[in-house]
Amino acid sequence: QIAAQQIAEIMDQAQSSNLVKVDGTAIKLKLSVENGKVHLNGREVSETEMQNALFMLMLGISSMGL
C-alpha cells in the first residue's frame, strides 16, 4: 500500500508539472534538441524548466528505493 501511495503522489506531481504527460499509469515525455533549443513534448523549454523536470524524476525514482 505504501508503494501505491508513493506512485500516486509521483503521478500527481508529474501531472501538475506540465512538463510530462500522464497517460493512465505511465509518465511520458519526448525530449528533442532542434536548432540548439530543447523541446519537451513539442514545447520549447528553458534550461531551468529542464533541470526541474529531471530533478522531479530523480526524486520520484529515489523515493521508490530504486
Express each pLDDT in 3-59 by its tens digit: 788 778 877 777 777 667 777 777 787 888 889 888 888 889 888 887 887 787 777
| Nearest C-alpha neighbor of 41 from the set 25, 27, 29, 57 | 29
pLDDT at 16: 76
**Amino acid at site 15:** Q
Query: What pTM did the predictor assign?
Result: 0.50
Q: Buried (b) or exposed (e) across 54-64, using 16+ Cβ within 10 A?
A: eebbeebeeee
Of the two residues 42 and 61, the one the predictor is more confident about is: 42
Where in 1-66 does DSSP place strands (E)? 21-23, 26-28, 31-34, 37-40, 43-44
